[in-house]
Amino acid sequence: MSAKKMKVDYSYLKQQFANSGPILKAMKDQLKRCQFTFGPEMIEFEKRFARLIGTTHAIGVGTGTDALFLPMKALGIGPGDEVISAPNSFIATTGAIVATGARPVYVDVLDDFTVNPDLIEAAITKRTKALLPVHYTGAPADMPKIMKIAKKYNLPVVEDACQSIGAAINGKLVGTFGIAGGFSLHPLKNLNVWGDGGVTVTNSAKMRDKLLLLRNHGLHGRDEVEIFGYNSRLDTIQAIVGNYLIKQANWITNQRIKNANKLDKALSELSGCITLPARKKGFRHVYHLYMFYAKKRDQLLSYLLKNGIDAKVHYPIPLHLQKAAHYLGYKKGDFPVTEAQCKSIITLPVHQHLTDSQVNYMIDKIKAFYKK
């Protein structure tokens, strides 16, 4: 963030935790027990999260990245395998694939920033072992089309729902279409905690059992190791924060949608200067990011920052052109939609603690910029 004091902050953590008394009290109570791993608060949070998403099981893990990595490991994905995903996501999506030993294979995206399902089949090879669609920005990927392809080729689907808690297609929440869905509890996610944390959801008892082993070193009890696993538990302390905030999940989502709708209405008047991504009928966008296309993007970004609006770019360099991805062999021009988006996208604050006056201020400043 700029050192300049912002009139409209991107982060909302100070407002969100202004009344932290109940959280601190619950932590103090936990200190009497000192059950910092696998405490009752974690078990309760998992139950609440499963109810919120509408799945049978929710498994708390250390990070949102692990919430994607562990189900892929549970599926047996490893070296020599390929997993299809999108090149415009945060690096953690690809990082989770690479951590399994598999090779990420990218497919270009649509104008709403989600993977283009019409391009998936051409990317499938005999080495393809899973699809990892990203519900990027809070917009659901076209899961009905993706699941149809997955069924045709008998491929499991792990959903990257890290940015999309509460997003849905015709009432069915993301994370519930595939064999598993991964969610992040990072401090800047819509539902967050006081550090890192993640949740994998599934309706499969077999997947649940494998995840329970993998997140805790492969242990059965204290002394028996069934498989070699990992250390990726959701800490009890973070679960306490999660239990406090999960009661606000629907309010958080509704406020973000309200703010986004207001921005949509105003910015749609600037056609020719601003292009809004498609808002698909029946697709519930939860606006982890409020992102759109802007002419003179870099100048607009500087203007907004100068006027105290903490705008961002997510992200200026696509994954396939990052130094870390050079070994994959992709080059500039391979994913033209993604590459074009990186040159014109901009993100505005849209969080649940924005006031009407702050939303109006952003609108007024953007209109003023394009009138210059």
Classify residue 7: in a domain, yes or no: no
Same domain, 207 and 259: no
Q: CA 260 from chain center: how many Å? A: 17
Q: Name every residue whose Cβ is closer than 8 Å to that of residue 275 and which is 6 or more positions away in sequence.
A: 292, 293
% of the chain exceeding 90 in pLDDT: 97
Same domain, 170 and 210: yes
Classify residue 1: in a domain, yes or no: no
Last residue of a domain, one of 218, 248, 278: 248
Same domain, 91 and 186: yes
What's the number of domains the chain is made of?
Answer: 2
Mean pLDDT taken over the chain? 96
Q: Name every residue whose Cβ is closer than 8 Å to that of residue 206 and which is 6 or more positions away in sequence.
A: none
Classify residue 366: in a domain, yes or no: yes
Average pLDDT over residues 259-285: 97
Same domain, 154 and 221: yes
Please identify which residue in the block is written with the tokens 């924005």. 354
The backbone region for 269, taken as left when phi is positive above 0, alpha when psi lies in -120 to 50, beta otherwise, is: alpha
Classify residue 38: in a domain, yes or no: yes
Average pLDDT over residues 307-313: 98
pLDDT tens, 150-179? Answer: 999 999 999 999 999 999 999 999 999 999
pLDDT at 234 (0 to 100): 97
Are 303 and 365 within 8 A, CB to CB? yes
- C-alpha distances out from residue 321 to 116, 145, 163, 250, 328, Å: 19, 28, 23, 37, 10
Same domain, 64 and 184: yes
Classify residue 6: in a domain, yes or no: no
Same domain, 129 and 105: yes
CATH number for the domain harbouring residue 154: 3.40.640.10
Residue 221, pLDDT above cutoff 90? no
Domain that holds residue 331: 250-371
Of the candidates 237, 225, 160, 153, the one whose C-alpha atom is nearest the C-alpha of residue 195 is 237
Average pLDDT over residues 245-255: 97
Same domain, 295 and 243: no
Classify residue 3: in a domain, yes or no: no
Residue 2, pLDDT above cutoff 70? no
Residue 372, pLDDT above cutoff 90? no
Strands 172-173 and 168-169: antiparallel
pLDDT tens, 72-131? Answer: 999 999 999 999 999 999 999 999 999 999 999 999 999 999 999 999 999 999 999 999
Last residue of a domain, one of 211, 227, 248: 248
Same domain, 108 and 214: yes
Last residue of a domain, one of 213, 248, 283: 248
User: What pTM does this model have?
Assistant: 0.96
% of the chain exceeding 70 in pLDDT: 99
Residue 1, pLDDT above cutoff 50? no
The backbone region for 118, taken as left when phi is positive above 0, alpha when psi lies in -120 to 50, beta otherwise, is: alpha
Classify residue 316: in a domain, yes or no: yes
Residue 272, pLDDT above cutoff 50? yes
Same domain, 220 and 103: yes
* The three-state (H, E, C) secondary structure of the chain, written as one string: CCCCCCCECCCCHHHHCCCCHHHHHHHHHHHHHCCCCCCHHHHHHHHHHHHHHCCCEEEEECCHHHHHHHHHHHCCCCCCCEEEECCCCCHHHHHHHHHHCCEEEECCECCCCCECHHHHHHHCCCCEEEECCECHHHCCCCHHHHHHHHHHHCCCEEEECCCCCCCEECCEECCCCCCEEEEECCCCCCCCCCCCCEEEEECCHHHHHHHHHHCECCEECCCEECCCCCECCCCHHHHHHHHHHHHHHHHHHHHHHHHHHHHHHHHHHHCCCEECCCCCCCEECCCCCEEEEECCHHHHHHHHHHCCECCECCCCCCHHHCHHHHHHCCCCCCCHHHHHHHHHEEEECCCCCCCHHHHHHHHHHHHHHHHC
Classify residue 2: in a domain, yes or no: no
pLDDT at 328 (0 to 100): 98
Same domain, 98 and 244: yes
pLDDT at 3 (0 to 100): 55
CATH number for the domain harbouring residue 320: 3.90.1150.10
Same domain, 225 and 271: no
Same domain, 255 and 244: no
Are 90 and 184 within 8 A, CB to CB? no
Q: Name every residue whose Cβ is closer than 8 Å to that of residue 305 and which is 6 or more positions away in sequence.
A: 2, 4, 311
